[in-house]
Chains A and B, each alone.
Chain A
Amino acid sequence: MDCDTYIDRYLSAHVDGELSGDETRAVEKHLAGCANCRVRYAEERAVKAMVRERARRYETPVQVRGSILAALDAVDSGARAGDRAGHADRPGFSVIRRARLWLPVALAAAAMFAFVMLHGGNVPPAGAVPAFDSALERYEIFNAHFVPNVPSASPADISDAYLGHKMPGLLWNLQPSGYRLVGGRLERLDDGSLAAFTFYRGEEGTILCAFMKAHGMQMPEGATQIVAGHNYYKYKGYSVCLSYYPRGDFICVLVSRKTMPYFIQDILGSSL
């Protein structure tokens, strides 16, 4: 073996430990008698070591890690919803990016499998639900005047801000239904717990999404419809949708003044 052959054909693979037994013996025989190639081999190793040790490495930002875990949660909950209908691992879940579209996952399943229970027209209204009252109160205040208190230039900003305060980072995408995301607010409720409010405005009205601590809350009786784990209520003249967030003991309460049939139609539309 001559020097050119060694350097052109074997050097890199030699350094990378990719030579066969026969090849290794041949190159070692050459190196034993060639000082120049021994230096060349040492330099090649040095270049490899430099890349290994000095190439920049990045640590996954906490928010990114958090949103990935949340996205896995969404797949888990979606798969469970799908299991019931015999469609686990539906490929369509791949449209989720950054875990910012949690709710449509379950709702997409609903639209697909039409897993809708209608209770008819004689349902008693839900009794007093403190979580609903908190959300309704904010909804009225925000309708009059909404000022975001977290960066709200994009859904990603809002999501990052929520995650930064250990709140759910997944947001409804209501754009397809004509509801523009206005912004997000983090506020403390009367009991001192943190809540995240995301406000949407469309030509026909507004929607508030409130993430609050569940505190072990049960689904109240009196739902008018149950769509893939989302319970819909007529409550004090508002349409309210309650669901459990898949991680960390949170509930999601959606409030709108729009009547329920239109509301549901819009929400379903947002998921596809």
Chain B
Amino acid sequence: MALKGGTGDDRRKRFEEEALPHLDALYTMAMRLARNPDDAHDLLQETALRAYRFFHQFEVGTNCRAWLLTILFNNFRNGYRKTSREQPASTAEDFEHKIEIESMRGNHAESNPETLLSGRGMEQEVEAALGKLPEEFCEALLLVDVEELSYQEISGVLNIPIGTVKSRVSRGRAMLREALTEYAKERGIIRS
């Protein structure tokens, strides 16, 4: 039988050691999902409380961050999704259209003779491109690239088959690459 996350008096100590170091990662994801600090706070708090109550179900040696993110996403899906949230582009065509508009605004930093590969100074562009990705692609990408979860773990967090994880990551990254390339051209980082 696998070791569990702790019960009784040692639960608090082990929770603080194992789970709380991931609080910033959870808060970052909560901010992305809820899109405002108040709702992110509620979502994070609900997640932490639920994780604490069910900490005995956490299997020691597995990825605690993935376990916590699973709870966070479940909580979000079960009631924190806000109707006021700006709807992201839902199709690839919409997405491309948004990127075009964004590029035409020309609201970017001065030209910089770097290549796309270095990506220097692309913070705003990365955020802008992520913000316009269809939600489910963006979530999969963040989980694999930022949270460094495996496809298997993401499958659990998002409750989708592993093949779907794979295609969302692949599709999302391709769209992101396209968008970043557009931005880079716009800024003269790379030539058309």
A→B interface (CB under 8 Å): 8, 11-13, 15-16, 18, 42-44, 46-61, 64-65, 67-68, 71-72, 75-76, 89, 91, 93-94, 96-99, 156
Contact = CB atoms under 8 A, between A and B. Distances in A.
A267 B48 CA distance: 27
A61 B27 CA distance: 9
A50 B169 contact: no
B49 A44 contact: no
Given A55-B126, A71-B45, A75-B49, A44 B24 contact: no
A38 to B, nearest CB: 12
Nearest to B30: A58
A58 B31 contact: yes
**Chain B at the A interface: mostly helix, strand, loop or mixed?**
helix
A89 to B, nearest CB: 5
A55 B127 contact: yes
21 contacts: A12-B173, A13-B151, A16-B144, A18-B166, A42-B117, A46-B117, A48-B173, A50-B180, A51-B130, A51-B142, A52-B146, A52-B148, A54-B123, A54-B127, A55-B142, A56-B123, A61-B41, A91-B53, A93-B53, A97-B42, A97-B45
Interface in B31-61: 31, 37-38, 41-42, 44-46, 48-50, 52-53
A18 B149 CA distance: 11
B49 A72 contact: yes
A52 B145 contact: yes
A97 B46 contact: yes
Interface of B: 12, 15, 23-25, 27-28, 31, 37-38, 41-42, 44-46, 48-50, 52-53, 116-119, 122-123, 126-127, 130, 141-142, 144-146, 148, 150-151, 166, 169-170, 173-174, 176-177, 180
A68 B177 CA distance: 38
Contacts of B37: 61
A176 to B, nearest CB: 20
Contacts of B142: 51, 55
B126 A43 contact: no
A52 B176 CA distance: 13
A33 B73 CA distance: 43
A43 B41 contact: no
Nearest to B181: A43
A55 B177 contact: no
Contacts of B31: 58
Contacts of A156: 38
B122 A68 contact: no
B44 to A, nearest CB: 7
A199 B170 CA distance: 56
A87 B146 CA distance: 40
Contacts of B23: 60, 65, 68
A57 B130 CA distance: 13
A184 B46 CA distance: 25
Given A72-B15, A76-B12, 18 more contacts: A12-B166, A13-B151, A16-B151, A46-B116, A48-B145, A51-B126, A51-B146, A53-B119, A55-B130, A57-B25, A60-B23, A60-B27, A64-B41, A68-B23, A72-B52, A93-B53, A94-B50, A97-B45
A96 B27 contact: no
Contacts of B117: 42-43, 46
Given A57-B28, A59-B24, A94-B53, A51 B176 contact: yes
A126 to B, nearest CB: 33
A171 to B, nearest CB: 14
Nearest to A83: B8
A35 to B, nearest CB: 15
A94 B71 CA distance: 13
